[in-house]
Structure 1
Amino acid sequence: MPRDTLTREQIVRTAVELLDAEGLEGLNMRALGQRLGSAATAVYWHVQNKDNLVLLATDHVWGELALPDLEAVGWRTAATAMATDLYAMFIRHPWLVQALAAHVLYGEGKARHDDHSFAVYEAAGFTGARADQAAAAVFTYVLGNAAGAAATASLTRRLTRDGAIAEEHFQAAMAEAQQIAMGYPHLRARLETPAATEYTAAADKAFEFGLHALLDGLEQQIAA
């Protein structure tokens, strides 16, 4: 695709697709140019460098988030919806968790989300720095839960890329980890019990459980 037919929007959308498929480590101008059917040099006419591209891609996906109407729902309903939506976005785009650790991220999409988040906790009754702390506590909780999914996505790419040798190392590591876990009673119980699937199901509900517990705590602080 010649540079005069490329648009920044096309480049950013394709960059998001590449990031979703290959992660942050797989993003480079040559790979992006191949997906666009264009020379890597043509991309530079629209974006400054890789860091600028990550910034644009991040702001693009941040725009996917819905903002609940605080005149239509209560603060806790809004907070739950925003946290759940944010978590789902991190799961769809696990590279974003990597980007938050490696880049200074900003833009209209993120500012729009952060501003509304502060409004939610101010509507709850928090003021000043307390509203900021409440918003940060929930955001950090969501990000921490999404980190596991991001790590799994990165490992899956590595196993797929490196083939049988990487798979062999992974299985050996899992066997060693299980052997170590058997020396600890609570971990052993989860490995030995016939109802081990119940623990897996409980883990799947961990995000929802923790979010409600966190919001319960914030609600108690407001009441106090």
Structure 2
Amino acid sequence: MVTRPRRDDALSRERIVDAATALLDAEGEGGLTFRALAAHLNTGPGAIYWHVANKGELLIAATDAVLNRTVPAAAAGATPPDAIRAVALGVFDAIEAHPWVGTQLTHMPSQPALRRLFERLGQQVQALGVPAAAQFTSASALLNYVLGVGAQNAANARAHQPGADRGEILGAEAAAWAGLDAGEYPFLRSVAGQLREHDDRQQYLDGVNLILAGITACAGGHT
């Protein structure tokens, strides 16, 4: 009988987190167990516990690792609005590629990754010259939008069967809106065509820009 060599000697926290990320991407949070992770790493659960105390710690570490890879540092010479847009798009792309990240960020508000996001957005809000009394509210509005819309887009994607055609789904919903009662749903009927044609990422960025317009108006600046 051929047996695979154990890899305990090569095991590291980074390798465990990478394997956990792969399992989360493939199976979702429910598929991440220490038994499944041990099988993926060809080791025993005890070796994993040496590096990670529990599943909660592992989820935090995996979320942190994904965001560190996908959310860029502020580019040299970037204006505060551009730096905010870069952070926002990095989070959107991270959640789109790893939908479970959105769930973790919204369900575990005290984790380091979320604090760092808030800090980075807050520093740029300060750089815009927003009055001190409005800085917390301004940064919170940005963070809540970034996390909320990103997570909602991921939830929408998970709700559809694998291989589903986005254009067909949007077309069907747009047709449903267009067929609603004109007296009860005048707005939805009027924007049905925009629903069919819109790009999620661009619409998300447009929302960030709307919030930035309000923040910079408060600061007396421009986007």
Asked whether the two chains share a fold, i.e. TM above 0.5, the reply is: yes
Residue 56 of structure 1, CA deviation: 1.1
In structure 2, the CA distance between the partners of 1:141 and 1:113, relative to structure 1 (3 Å rule), is closer
Q: Which amino acid aligns with 2:135?
A: A
Match of 2:62? Answer: 57
Aligned equivalent of 2:53: 48
Q: Distance in 2 between matches of 1:179 and 1:61?
A: 37
Whether the 8 Å CA contact 1:98–1:150 is kept in 2: the answer is no
Identify the residue that residue 210 of structure 1 maps to in structure 2.
207
How many residues are treated as equivalent by the alignment? Answer: 202
Distance 1:89 1:117 in 2: 17
Do the aligned partners of 2:118 and 2:140 also contact (CA within 8 Å) in 1? no
The answer to which of 55-64 and 124-133 deviates more is 124-133
Q: Paired residue for 1:133?
A: 137
**1:199 is aligned with what amino acid?**
L
The alpha carbon displacement at 1:111 in A equals 4.2
- Distance of aligned partners of 1:105 and 1:4 in 2 relative to their CA distance in 1, 3 Å threshold: farther
After TM superposition, list the pairs within 5 Å mapping 1:81-92 onto structure 2: 81-92=86-97
CA contact (8 A) 1:2 1:42 kept: no
Q: 1:77 to 1:180 in 2, by over 3 A?
A: closer
Structure with the higher fraction of residues in helix conformation: 1
Q: Which SS does the other structure have where 1:46 is aligned? A: coil
User: Alpha-carbon deviations, 1:38-94, whole Å to 9, x = none?
Assistant: 22332112111111111111121221221214x612211212222122221221221
Retained in 1: the 8 A contact 2:122–2:135?
Answer: yes
Q: Give the Cα–Cα distance (whole angstroms) in 1 for the partners of residues 190 and 127 of structure 2.
A: 44
Tell me by how many angstroms 1:5 deviates: 2.4
1:31 aligns with 2:42: no
Aligned pairs for 1:167-182 (under 5 A) are: 182=179
Provide closer, same or farther for how the CA distance between residues 144 and 110 of structure 1 changes in structure 2, counting only shifts above 3 A.
Answer: closer
Question: Which residue, out of 82, 87, 105, partners 1:77?
Answer: 82
CA shift, 1:153, in A, is 4.2
Q: Which moved more, 1:46-55 or 1:27-36?
A: 27-36
Higher mean displacement: 22-31 or 111-120: 111-120
1:15 Cα offset (Å): 0.8
1:14-36: CA deviation from partner (whole Å, max 9, x where unpaired): 11111122222221112212221
AA paired with 2:212? L
CA contact (8 A) 2:130 2:218 kept: no
- Displacement of 1:181 in angstroms is 7.8
1:115 aligns with 2:111: no
Identity among equivalent pairs (%):
30
| 1:199 equivalent among 195, 200, 207 | 195
Gaps of 5+ in 2: 1-5, 165-171
8 Å contact from structure 2 (residues 121, 142) kept in 1: no
| TM-score (structure 1 length as normaliser) | 0.76
User: Which AA in structure 2 matches 1:139?
Assistant: L
* Counterpart-to-counterpart distance in 2, 1:12 and 1:133: 34
After TM superposition, the runs of 4+ consecutive aligned structure 1 residues lying more than 6 A away are 178-181
8 Å CA contact 1:23–1:154 kept in 2: the answer is: no
| Aligned mates of 1:199, 1:101 — CA distance in 2 | 26
Query: Secondary structure at the residue paired with 1:48?
Result: coil
Note if contact 2:7-2:43 (Cα within 8 Å) is conserved in structure 1. yes
Q: Please say if residues 63 and 110 of structure 1, whose CA atoms lie closer than 8 Å, have aligned partners that are also in contact.
A: no
1:66 matched to 2:72: yes
